[in-house]
Amino acid sequence: MRKFTILSMALLCGALKLFSQSNGFVAAYDSMHQKVSVWYAFSEWKAIDWNALNNRIRPKILNAGPVNDTNAFYLALKEYVASIHDGHVSIRGAGWDGHKAYARYQQIGGSYGFALTALDDGRVVARLVNPGSPSALAGMVFGAEILEVNDHPVNSVLDTVSVFWAEANPATQECKRLNQFRFIGRAPVGKTMKVKFLNRGTSIPVKATLTAVDDNYATFDQTSLLPIDPGPTISYSILQPGGYGYIKLTSEPGDSAGMAQVYVSFRQAISSFITAGARGMILDMRVNTGGEDLLSAALAGFFTTDTTLYEYRSYYNPGSGQFDIWPLPLPHFNPQTLGTYINPKYPVGAQYTEPQGIYFSKPVMIMVGPRNISSGEGVPMALQRLPKNKVISFYGSNGSFGMMENWSYHYLYPPPNDLYFRYPVGRSLDKNMKIQVDSDSTMQGGIRPDIRVPLNDTVIDQLYIDSIDVELKYAIGKLTSLLRINENVDGLNSNLLEPVFPNPVHSTATIQYNLEEASIVLLAVYNTYGKLVTTLVDETRQAGNYRVNWNTGDLAPGIYFYRIQTGSQSMTRKCAVL
């Protein structure tokens, strides 16, 4: 344990060397609380009672000071942090890692050797039973249904399980439950637990008393909900069979070089999918640490032909004493320079999703999960708003979307004994000026799946025994079904003629059409009176995907119709010329 002596603030000179036994803890805590309780972005949204929280924590800080109990001081701060359901909120500092390790070991250093999950039919089963662990030695096997814990129904016990030591604060009820499935199997070394379980294929429950042993945090690490080693920032391929595009994106980096690299790779991926005639795409955002909102907004622009609001940003204004829209224009990503630019036509504090010159018009299946956090939730947010796209996953995203800025850190003690409180200072607002994505006072939020992947005995076998990516497999199946339905409505190939891009048309545009078989093709443009304006294609074409450039020339501004006729089908779409 560190020992501390009294030093005057004048001797600190901007860097604390030692702590005051009598009031150093209190002064540091009070400074933090006074700042955070005002500048934290979601006090009302999450219904945080700062006075009640202070009344609970401050006495513990006071008690730690006179006896110089740094472990008690750290635990009190950790409790303060854990009371705020926000994945961005944390207490950090390299100089305090020893206190964290000591306190964590005292509370969850022991393990019973299992972790749980819930199936769609309501059963709670073991998704992990480590060989040689107390649970395994008691006869529990993978997939066993847990009936009781300490003579109470398992679900009622789960409700009481602390998630104090979750690597990131659970922001949603769903994330909290997933952590409770982890932590019910951990306890202080030597603590006992009574369990009643039913192994698969048996009819007689087993009762056992387990004693927690030191497993070097095995089950803790095996079930982590942090994006540990997420792999390359971006990777992509064309999945076979099916020919669907697939992009895995693990962050949206904020540095100039990182943004440019991700953007160029993403653009190359979309372009290659279009060239290959991909009928759909899967965007894998399940493990994404976030990063820069302006990049997320730009990436979403590959899937739309319209400029749409991504967010307004709101921050605490000391002058007004409230949260106001950021008073300056926000930078947007420039696809030509791979840097940023300011559009003076946009309202201050507004971030927009802008068309990127390449448009992927086919359906997109987006996969998210609890390890999809912060700006990483932005691309799914934008794509889910488009009717042709669906979010498909076991679980929703993290629900922590607030703004982290260079003033999102309050130092209780500066280096070398650094200790700081990290928290979001800005809100993301939708077009109605309402907070979006961040979880609310009921812990509801994040990007919720439109389609939930089933969880049953077969699925968990595939997940945890066979190491099959069930979510990806299910997304491919759903995309195939969706395309088959769309392409067989009234015998019409709904992908025959794509929306013109861009729309409205300024001077030139691209029209794409798709042939399933060789056919005579007539593609022409008409005005609102049905008069032929121009013929773009009039010849026989083989099966495939085609793109036609349309130069509007001296056409008067207005509404026009472009129509394709093949040997067996026809389709008409509308566009505007400026």
Model confidence at 493, pLDDT cuts 50, 70, 90, reads: low
pLDDT (0 to 100) of residue 23:
53
Mean pLDDT of the chain: 90
Q: Find the helix packing angle between 97-108 and 70-82, rounded to 10°.
A: 70
A 10 A CB-CB count for 196 gives 18
Model confidence at 420, pLDDT cuts 50, 70, 90, reads: very high
Q: How far is residue 563's CA from residue 574's CA, in Å, rounded to a whole number?
A: 9
Q: Is the pLDDT of residue 492 over 80?
A: no
Q: Find the helix packing angle between 70-82 and 24-39, rounded to 10°.
A: 10
Q: Is the pLDDT of residue 490 over 50?
A: no
Q: How far is residue 61's CA from residue 58's CA, in Å, rounded to a whole number?
A: 5
Model confidence at 568, pLDDT cuts 50, 70, 90, reads: low
Q: Is the pLDDT of residue 109 over 50?
A: yes
Closest to 171 (Cα-Cα) out of 311, 42, 324: 42
Token pair belonging to 564? 């394709």
Q: Is the pLDDT of residue 17 over 80?
A: no
**DSSP bridge pairs for 512:** 547
Closest to 115 (Cα-Cα) out of 204, 167, 177, 208: 177
**DSSP bridge pairs for 288:** 372
Which CATH topology does 234-401+441-484 take? 2-enoyl-CoA Hydratase; Chain A, domain 1 (3.90.226)
Query: Judging by DSSP bridges, how do beta strands 350-353 and 308-317 pair with one another?
Result: antiparallel
Cβ 110 vs Cβ 212: under 8 Å: yes
pLDDT tens digit sequence for 326-360 = 999 999 999 999 999 999 999 999 999 999 999 99
Q: How far is residue 457's CA from residue 126's CA, in Å, rounded to a whole number?
A: 11
AA letter at 81? V
Burial of 153 (0-12, 13-18, 19+ CB in 10 A): middle
pLDDT tens digit sequence for 193-207 = 999 999 999 999 999
pLDDT tens digit sequence for 279-328 = 999 999 999 999 999 999 999 999 999 999 999 999 999 999 999 999 99
Q: Is the pLDDT of residue 156 over 50?
A: yes
Model confidence at 530, pLDDT cuts 50, 70, 90, reads: low
- Residue range 149-174: average pLDDT? 96
pLDDT (0 to 100) of residue 204:
96
Token pair belonging to 90? 């944390």
pLDDT (0 to 100) of residue 489:
44
pLDDT tens digit sequence for 436-456 = 999 999 999 999 999 999 999
Cβ 360 vs Cβ 303: under 8 Å: yes
Q: How far is residue 244's CA from residue 239's CA, in Å, rounded to a whole number?
A: 5
- What's the CATH number of domain 110-222, 2.30.42.10, 1.10.260.40, 3.40.50.2000, 3.40.50.2020? 2.30.42.10
Cβ 543 vs Cβ 521: under 8 Å: no
pLDDT (0 to 100) of residue 24:
87
Q: What is the DSSP letter of 495?
A: T
Closest to 129 (Cα-Cα) out of 233, 49, 215: 215
Q: How far is residue 236's CA from residue 250's CA, in Å, rounded to a whole number?
A: 12
pLDDT (0 to 100) of residue 460:
96
Cβ 442 vs Cβ 167: under 8 Å: no
AA letter at 255? D
How far is residue 116 from each of residues 178, 184, 216, 517, 578, measured CA to CA in Å? Answer: 9, 8, 19, 52, 59
Domain limits of the chain? 9-84, 110-222, 234-401+441-484, 508-577
Alpha helices in 116-242 (DSSP H): 134-137, 154-158, 173-183, 218-222
Model confidence at 67, pLDDT cuts 50, 70, 90, reads: confident
- Compute the half-sphere exposure of residue 404: CA atoms within 13 Å on the CB side of its CA: 20
Q: What is the DSSP annotation of 229-242?
A: S--SSEEEEEETTT
Cβ 343 vs Cβ 480: under 8 Å: no
Q: Is the pLDDT of residue 12 over 60?
A: no
pLDDT tens digit sequence for 240-265 = 888 999 999 999 999 999 999 999 99
Cβ 24 vs Cβ 65: under 8 Å: yes
Q: Reply yes or no on domain 508-577 having CATH 2.60.40.3080.
A: yes
Q: Is the pLDDT of residue 544 over 90?
A: no
pLDDT (0 to 100) of residue 13:
29
Q: What is the DSSP letter of 486?
A: H
Percent of the chain beyond pLDDT 90? 73
**DSSP bridge pairs for 118:** 124
State residue 272 phi and psi, 5-degree precision: -65, -35
Q: Is the pLDDT of residue 558 over 70?
A: yes
